[in-house]
Amino acid sequence: MEGPLISIITATYNRSNILAYSIHSVLNQTFRNWELIVIGDCCTDDTAEVVAGFRDPRITFINLEKNFGEQSGPNNEGLRRARGEYIAFLNHDDLWFPDHLEFSLRRLQSTGADLVLAAGFIDHGEEQYRFYLSGVTSEKYGYHPSRIFVPASNWLFKNELVKDVGLWRPARELYVVPSHDWLKRAYEAGKRIEPTRHFTVIAMPSSSRKNAYKDRMFSDSQHCFEQLRDNPHFREQLAIKYLYRSFEENYYDEKTYYWRFFTKKIKTAFIALGFNTIEFNMRRAYKKGGLIASYRKKRGLT
């Protein structure tokens, strides 16, 4: 029997009530030749029952015997088990539009890239004054790890990259989050990274939601899932909303405009000198592993 073309890896921990929405967004993909490997970080809730309830042979659940405490451990276990020629990650609190895999795969194959970055929306929930578009790279500069952070849910890449780049490094060894570190290493290894220029991801990070794990928050995931399911104009509406607010703040608010202008000039100078500006800022603010530790505290995990 032929294996799947794409292996999807989802790390999860005790949030079965939102995991179900992310799995549904995989099942709704127009591209069908995939496997979904759900890795529980020693889950103690009903995650196993929720995954089994989908009754789809393409979906596998493995629960780690010991809690790793962040997603690098579960994701590495998923990478070891992945059978597909291509690999995608889907964070358990994120969703994909139905054409995500189909469009990303077509873009990867047509460009000859090693990895593609889908564009997406990041919903920061309670921090409503903050919003982001993700996976949007400069046409002039392309992807650079000092310029942007792109969530793992936006990636699609060749499985063979794992041999060259390696597995995810644990957060305790890093100043940045493990996903940013892995993508930075792929860039430094000379891998070709291309944007899809198509919005297909909705991220709802728990790091922006106080006590997200403790209170088992699910309303944002439910709302976005229902919009994906019932509203054919949802993507267009999000694009209009975020792009309008982006131009309003970044180009018509004078203070923000000039701040962006000077910080981008400084960032370009740092890059020319070989500094990673995102990591540089994290080093100033945290010790190794400190960023993830702060996220765990906010999520209600400590």
Contacts of 8 (CB under 8 A, 6+ apart): 26, 34, 35, 36, 37, 87, 88, 89, 90
* pLDDT value of position 248: 74
- How many whole angstroms separate alpha carbon 137 and alpha carbon 183? 14
* pLDDT value of position 262: 67
Which 8-state DSSP code applies to residue 262? H
Can you tell me which residue has the tokens 């276990």?
77
* pLDDT value of position 128: 53
Q: Is the pLDDT of residue 237 over 50?
A: yes
* pLDDT value of position 130: 55
Buried b (16+ CB within 10 A) or exposed e, 147-177: bbbbbbbbbbbbeebbeebeebebbeebbbb
pLDDT tens sequence across 26-49: 999 999 999 999 999 999 999 999
Select the more confidently predicted residue: 251 or 130. Answer: 251
Q: Is the pLDDT of residue 74 over 60?
A: yes
Domains of the chain, each with CATH number or no CATH: 6-299 (3.90.550.10)
- Concatenated DSSP letters of 184-209: HHHHHTT--EEEEEEEEEEE--GGGS
Find the radius of gyration of the CA atoms of the chain.
19
pLDDT band at 245 (very low <50, low <70, confident <90, very high): confident
Percent of residues, the chain, with pLDDT higher than 70: 90
Q: What rounded mean pLDDT belongs to the chain? A: 90
pLDDT band at 24 (very low <50, low <70, confident <90, very high): very high
Q: Which of these, 16, 62, 18, lies nearest to 42 by C-alpha position?
A: 62
Q: Please check whether residue 119 is in contact with residue 199, taking contact to mean a CB–CB distance below 8 angstroms.
A: yes
pLDDT band at 129 (very low <50, low <70, confident <90, very high): very low
pLDDT tens sequence across 286-296: 888 888 888 88
Can you tell me which residue has the tokens 């603010």?
285
Q: Is the pLDDT of residue 3 over 60?
A: yes
What is the enclosing helix (H) or strand (E) of 63? strand 59-63
Average pLDDT over residues 56-71: 96
Q: Is the pLDDT of residue 131 over 70?
A: no
pLDDT band at 125 (very low <50, low <70, confident <90, very high): confident
